[in-house]
Structure 1
Amino acid sequence: MRTRVLRGICFIITTTLLFFPISNSALGAEDRQLEEVIVTAERREASISDTSISITAFTAEAIEEFGIRNQEDLQAMVPAAVIEPYDMAIRGVGRNFRSLGGDPGIATYQNGVYSEDFGIASTEGGLFDVERIEFLRGPQGTLYGRNAIGGAVNFINKKPTDEFYGELRTLVGNFNLLEVYGVVSGPIIKDVLSARFVGMNRERDGYYKDLSGNPDPGDYGDENYALSLRWTPTDSITFNIRGNERSYHRMMGGADAAGILNLSQRGGKDTERDTSTYAWGFRAVDPGIACPDKLTRTPYIATPGVINGTSCMITGQETFNFRNPVDGSNVVAQRVTPGADIATTGTTDHYNYAYGHDPARQRLIGISGVEGGDLKTDTSGQQDEFFDHQAMSFDLTWDVNDKFAMKYIFGYTDYFYDRESDVDLTSNPLGDRTFYVSQDTNYVSNELQFFFDPNENLSITAGAFVYHAKIRQRGDFYDYNCVGNADCQSRYANGEPLGILAGIPKVDLFTALAAGNAVDSGGDAPFNCLSGAAIAAQDQLDWYCYGAWEGDKGDSVPHGPSTIGTDLEYQTRTERDAYAAFAQGVYQINDQFALTLGLRWARDELDGYETLFYYAEQTIVPLGFEDTPFAGGGTGCIVDNCTSTLAAMNQALGYMDAEGNILNPSRLMLAGIPSSQSLSRRLDKNTEDVTWRANLDWTPTDETLFYVSATKGLRSGGFNLVFFSGQGTFDAEELIAYELGYKGTLLNNKLQLNSAVYFYDYENVHTFANGVAFAGGYTTNVVPVPEAELYGLDLELTWLATASLTLGFHGSYTGTEYTKDYFVIDPNDPEQPESLFDATTNLINIKGNSMIRVPEFKAGGWAMYNLALSSGGDIDFSMNYSWIDRVYFSVFEREDQSADSYDRLDLRVAWHPNESWVVAAFVNNVFDDIGFRQIEQYGATESGGWRRTGTPSDPRLYGLEVRFKMGAF
């Protein structure tokens, strides 16, 4: 009811504005003309109306007028774009995975310098002191240094001015928002050397309520300082140099692989998070055969399609029904008895981290009808995220003569990033899983460009590009509750309770890592490892080792905390060297037609290394130790009424009593013998190819441009690091884009319409799905889907409706489809539990399915009304509405793996008493409706109860902004 009333009020206000009485003198709309937006999308300054590329551009004035400050503000106004915390996609093409060693797909440039990190560029300084932002749709490469299969984004900062200029800006708002910005610019040596200094500090409290009493996630503290110099020693030579230092900290409120809200469990079947089940997993039962007691099982009878077969049913325990994927029959199942039947544990000591915790804190908020007040979570408080970023860019332009110019661009970026995130999203003292990751990143790029206009009909742009990137990342999954908890520590730091397993060799956690370091430096592993026959795809490994669990001695990864309770740790390194040469020529055939041809050669050399260590419980262990029960293939209970040897082990260790009651919930073994496993491998991947562009322009009038183009794009191959993937590398993907565009200025330069229709033929599509892991089981992978098609429409319209009213509309349709047979394993389907059915029987052909993370429809509109005041000055009223369609986050198109459509309405009023002052009030997301920018695939496995987490859109945000400008502006 409240929402409907608010929407009604908004409609009345908007309608009133549309029909606001206007005097005859105000109707001088013929004196008001659309202003040209100048872009550098083709590396030369040109009007957006004259550029034969589908572009959305925001000038500094538009950024200020619409109050654009972050990624969500941009997403609300860019057709066919989906922006996530770290990455983005345009027309369905981008990076839908965060695998180390992958390429973004959308190239980000800041002041002409390529960056792999869209997330940093798109959040720097709240987009203050930005001259222009350009979103280019479609493959880019014949004019740009880096491959860009899906598009490019240019962030151009303001340059030093030849006259003094200064500006102060302050924002205050709800959630204790306080942002302060300042800029000083002007000449040091008149007409020769000028400088610009920008400083800003941004702070806000979190808007996710942490029910544990820990600091609320979603806050931030952001400082950024930048100094720019512009030197013009002669009329033909210009130097620009810019350096910045940025420090950012927040209690993380969601990101890729770090959802902050619990959305659903068991595919949406549970309305509340389960706090009574200790461990996940099912076993098939025969309702006609009763188990003698909780721990005793009748012989398992082979059943087609069912792992381990069928045994007796425990009287009085809940039953579940599943469809057998092999023959369609009904399979009756019960939950496993923890500590007796093998539970689903993945590669770590997973159990239900919410077990025994306060149900009131374990909210599942769903994905539909969510409002700002529903943003509640429960964490251990380990949500710190921090990065320290330094960057420097330098460019030199030399106008040699009227026909020839050169430009050199250098860029250097160095940053350190680390974060902790509470993976289990509980404050449960019984158990915890915290993820720490740190990353050292270094980018260096060099680009040389040549501009040659031999005559008035021909224009040539050419260049060369060299790029080096080095990334080192380390990760540590550990139990934060072990801090100061001796019983918790004993599980990890002390292997003595496992004395009953005497004779099995042990592998210490950091001994394994030392082995990896030895291999990385060219030495040999310091202990014996298994032969190639011991593991699938062993030929891809430098070594693979395992033995009984010896424990975590409390060391740390570089930069990380000293942790006791590690169950998975990794260290990786990737180095990329990229080389390219490119050229594009535009030939003016006659007054109406122009032909553009472009060519690019590129080579990427990628080198990588990873070493992994993890805890697992082995159901079958070599060296003569007895098989753990019910492990499949006829092992386990094969005689009448036998008792679980897993239960016997837990009883011998004092973790469970003879009746199956859990005595020590922090120590219970769920699958078998604790083991330590480690692997190391070196990887390399080279990609070399030629891409091209052909375009024909037709300008029948000065106000009209039609263009038709065909462009080949490329994304280089990469690595499947960290995920224990059986396939360590993946090949390059290719795309040929066909586009027909129209740009027209109509109604005597009162209406601008830009539109494009396109078709993409996409091959070897990098997407995110499950594949076979090295040590058995399944893991997340980047998989190459053979072929897909994308087709759609982009549309943008700006109309000067009256002398005071401007209206705008933007929309897009993006149709996507995998067009060739490709079968993907789905081990995480709640209707086909991995503990019951072999995942290979749940192969799904994704042909005909939509590509992931692509909304089919996206639309928005805005209105801006200027009211002149008789006392001087004016007031701008603006409204901005956007809507985004349902988005699927897996190739299976399941509802529980999707985000509902959602909309957003922003209102803003700005008073300009004079040219120096601006006072504005704003409300973003007026109706406080919440959508989801990301639905996580990581960890949504049976071992976690198929729990899905996500990162939501911003709640209602409101505030006041004051700007003061001085000097020349």
Structure 2
Amino acid sequence: MWQNTIENINTSHELRLSTPSDWKVSAVAGLFYEDRQVNDQTEWLYKSVPECTIGGPKSCFFALDPANTPKFANASFNNRNRRNSATGFFNDFQRTYEQKAAFVSLDWKVTDDLTVTAGTRYFDGFNQMLGGNVGSFYCKQYGTGLSTATGICTGPANGAAPYGTNLNNQAINSFTDKGFRSRVNVSYKVKEDVLVYATWSEGFRPGGFNRGSSQVLRLVDRSTGKATRGATNQFQLPLFFKSDDLVNYEIGWKTTLMDNRVQFNGAVYQVKWDNAQSGIFAPQAGFGNLTVSVNGPSYETKGIQMSLSARVSEALTIEGAASYNKAELTNNPQFINNIPGSPNNGKPITESWVGGPVSVANVFGVEGDPAAMAPKIQANVRARYEWSANEYNYYWQTGLVYMDDRRSAANRLQTFDLESYTDVSLSAGVAKGNWTAEFVVSNLTDRREADFASSSQFVETRNPPRPRTIGVQFGYNFGE
């Protein structure tokens, strides 16, 4: 069981200036400022052994009291009070993100049919994370009881210093990220109801911090078959992760045909995603019991997508969309030994020690592996028929969604195969005046293929869809 409390404080300002859009060269320019703070507290309530008290039980856990713990005396906690006696571990962080930016976009109407758009955005971001995580691991009294100790886990005198990391004392708890991100678009009206375009654009996600820095991957000593310690550890989990970058190349079309009864749009694209941020939760491989985010994988997606909307008759409308994507890993990311003095410093890591040798080679896969949650084929279609008779308005509708098979996660330590599925829904209704009545069926075939799978609770869990649901809905419009 856990309790989570999050407070978001966000202030943003934007100044935007624009010229009349009918000028031959029009422009939009502006300044942007954002100051965002997230105060995040999560407590895991799992203590099954009583807390220590004077004259109390001989075996007990010491209390977690950050205000009276030297290790966390200067930590920027949102709550500095002694924790609930059931709390075995807690996160208490203050995340700050400040961004200053300037942007400009120009539209040049070369002719009545040809328009060139170019824009760029400069950003300067500051990212900081303070506070820490505190745990009762190793903070236990074994079999001797207490006479004068307060029972607070403060250091060796009371058993052991609390497990966890004080980010205020961490070597790196803030960084800046700055640069330009730009785009260029060329659009051409082939005729009044047919437009084609080509786009090049850039994007990114800002970096962030990991919650703990004490975890290491231990080196396996092949001469003894056991783990080594100290300078012969092989990997220190990173304090933070960097921004990742994306570049999109796209050619597309937008059409309105047959006296506006048909819309047919589509695009062909290539997306390059470099140094992607990826999260790992894999205690079984030595990565600790907190999710750690790292950079490393790079992906490329080549795809096509299309959508169609057709008014077949005054009563019948058919809409559909489909896409095909080939999203693959384009590099062979490896964890690199980053412990000075370790025998394999600077070399790829292939295994760690968790009660025995565990493979961590090619955690993110090898070149050519599919990206996570990236089905090759997705499609949907919907048909709706509407008519009126005797002052009543009627309709029936059916829809179908197809999702191809895909991987659940970006790393091999916690990924599962998700099967393809087809989801069908039906509905019919009648309305008169302000009243409506509908008969609905969702998940008609009662499919059970999972939408999501995870091992974040230390076991494989799958999230199936809601089972076949049949219902009747009534409504009244009070607005008329």
User: Normalization by structure 2: what TM-score?
Assistant: 0.78
Distance 1:780 1:913 in 2: 54
Q: Helix, strand or coil for the counterpart of 2:391?
A: coil
Counterparts in 2 of 1:66-81, with a 5 A limit? none
**Deviations, residues 500-557 of structure 1 (Å, cap 9, x unaligned):** xxxxxx97521477446532369xxxxxxxxxxxxxxxxxxxxxxxxxxxxxxxxxx9
The one of 12, 37, 41 aligned to 1:470: 37
CA contact (8 A) 1:706 1:740 kept: yes
- Corresponding residue number in structure 1 for 2:113: 592
Distance 2:427 2:44 in 1: 44
Cα distance, 1:800 vs structure 2: 1.2
**Deviations, residues 371-412 of structure 1 (Å, cap 9, x unaligned):** xxxxxxxxxxxxxxxxxxxxxxxxxxxxxxxxxxxxxxxxxx
Cα distance, 1:741 vs structure 2: 0.6
CA contact (8 A) 1:850 1:893 kept: no
Cα distance, 1:844 vs structure 2: 6.4
The one of 455, 461, 480 aligned to 1:949: 461
**Deviations, residues 401-441 of structure 1 (Å, cap 9, x unaligned):** xxxxxxxxxxxxxxxxxxxxxxxxxxxxxxxxx22221111
CA contact (8 A) 2:51 2:63 kept: no
Cα pair distance change 1:578/1:937, threshold 3 Å: farther
Cα distance, 1:864 vs structure 2: 0.3
- Corresponding residue number in structure 2 for 1:678: 164
Distance 1:922 1:521 in 2: 52
The one of 9, 15, 36 aligned to 1:448: 15
**Deviations, residues 651-691 of structure 1 (Å, cap 9, x unaligned):** x89xxxxxxxxxxxxxxxxxxx9874232013112111111
Distance 2:9 2:436 in 1: 40
2:312 maps to 1:801: yes
Distance 2:95 2:358 in 1: 35
- The amino acid that maps onto 1:934 is F
Distance 1:714 1:818 in 2: 18
Cα pair distance change 1:615/1:460, threshold 3 Å: same
Aligned length: 425
- Corresponding residue number in structure 1 for 2:448: 930
Distance 2:65 2:316 in 1: 67
Query: Percent identity, aligned pairs only?
Result: 19
Q: Helix, strand or coil for the counterpart of 2:369?
A: coil
- The amino acid that maps onto 1:890 is A
Q: Helix, strand or coil for the counterpart of 1:453?
A: coil
**Deviations, residues 71-107 of structure 1 (Å, cap 9, x unaligned):** xxxxxxxxxxxxxxxxxxxxxxxxxxxxxxxxxxxxx
**Deviations, residues 816-835 of structure 1 (Å, cap 9, x unaligned):** 1121120259xxxxx99943
Distance 1:439 1:937 in 2: 24
Counterparts in 2 of 1:554-565, with a 5 A limit? 558=79, 563-565=84-86
Q: Helix, strand or coil for the counterpart of 2:477?
A: strand
CA contact (8 A) 2:398 2:427 kept: yes
- The amino acid that maps onto 1:965 is N
Cα pair distance change 1:497/1:601, threshold 3 Å: same
Cα pair distance change 1:494/1:720, threshold 3 Å: farther
Cα pair distance change 1:778/1:908, threshold 3 Å: closer
CA contact (8 A) 2:66 2:80 kept: no
CA contact (8 A) 2:204 2:243 kept: yes
Distance 1:895 1:518 in 2: 36
Q: Helix, strand or coil for the counterpart of 1:520?
A: coil
Cα pair distance change 1:466/1:931, threshold 3 Å: farther
Q: Helix, strand or coil for the counterpart of 1:932?
A: coil
2:197 maps to 1:711: no
CA contact (8 A) 1:890 1:937 kept: no
- Corresponding residue number in structure 2 for 1:510: 65
The one of 756, 769, 792 aligned to 2:303: 792
CA contact (8 A) 1:935 1:948 kept: yes
Cα pair distance change 1:438/1:709, threshold 3 Å: same
Cα distance, 1:796 vs structure 2: 0.9
Distance 1:783 1:706 in 2: 39
Does 1 or 2 have the higher relative contact order (CA < 8 Å, sep 6+)?
Answer: 1
Cα pair distance change 1:592/1:950, threshold 3 Å: same
2:408 maps to 1:918: no
- Corresponding residue number in structure 1 for 2:234: none
CA contact (8 A) 1:849 1:893 kept: no
Distance 2:21 2:361 in 1: 65
- Corresponding residue number in structure 1 for 2:382: 862
Please tell me the root mean square deviation across aligned C-alpha atoms, in Å.
3.7
CA contact (8 A) 2:165 2:213 kept: no
Q: Helix, strand or coil for the counterpart of 2:50?
A: helix
- The amino acid that maps onto 1:612 is N
Cα distance, 1:743 vs structure 2: 1.0
CA contact (8 A) 2:133 2:211 kept: no
**Deviations, residues 855-878 of structure 1 (Å, cap 9, x unaligned):** 222111000001221x12321111
CA contact (8 A) 1:824 1:844 kept: no
Counterparts in 2 of 1:541-580, with a 5 A limit? 558=79, 563-580=84-101
CA contact (8 A) 1:585 1:598 kept: yes
- Corresponding residue number in structure 2 for 1:690: 180
**Deviations, residues 437-468 of structure 1 (Å, cap 9, x unaligned):** 21111222222222212754233222222112
User: Normalization by structure 1: what TM-score?
Assistant: 0.40
- Corresponding residue number in structure 2 for 1:489: 50
The one of 400, 404, 413 aligned to 1:885: 404
2:221 maps to 1:701: no
Cα distance, 1:797 vs structure 2: 0.6
- The amino acid that maps onto 2:101 is A
- Corresponding residue number in structure 2 for 1:900: 419
- The amino acid that maps onto 2:380 is G
Distance 2:386 2:393 in 1: 7
Distance 2:305 2:55 in 1: 61
CA contact (8 A) 1:614 1:677 kept: yes
Cα distance, 1:694 vs structure 2: 0.4
- The amino acid that maps onto 1:921 is F
Q: Helix, strand or coil for the counterpart of 2:85?
A: coil
Cα distance, 1:739 vs structure 2: 0.3
Counterparts in 2 of 1:643-658, with a 5 A limit? none
- Corresponding residue number in structure 2 for 1:733: 244
CA contact (8 A) 2:277 2:293 kept: yes
CA contact (8 A) 2:297 2:364 kept: no
Q: Helix, strand or coil for the counterpart of 2:368?
A: coil
- The amino acid that maps onto 1:509 is L
2:103 maps to 1:582: yes
Counterparts in 2 of 1:417-432, with a 5 A limit? none
The one of 251, 262, 282 aligned to 1:751: 262
Distance 2:462 2:68 in 1: 32
Cα distance, 1:769 vs structure 2: 2.6
- Corresponding residue number in structure 2 for 1:960: 472
Cα pair distance change 1:780/1:562, threshold 3 Å: closer
Cα distance, 1:911 vs structure 2: 1.4
Distance 2:55 2:265 in 1: 67
Q: Helix, strand or coil for the counterpart of 2:65?
A: helix
Cα pair distance change 1:490/1:444, threshold 3 Å: closer
Report the structure number with the largest CA radius of gyration: 1
Cα distance, 1:740 vs structure 2: 0.5
Cα distance, 1:716 vs structure 2: 1.4
Distance 1:720 1:494 in 2: 40
2:324 maps to 1:813: yes
- Corresponding residue number in structure 1 for 2:345: none
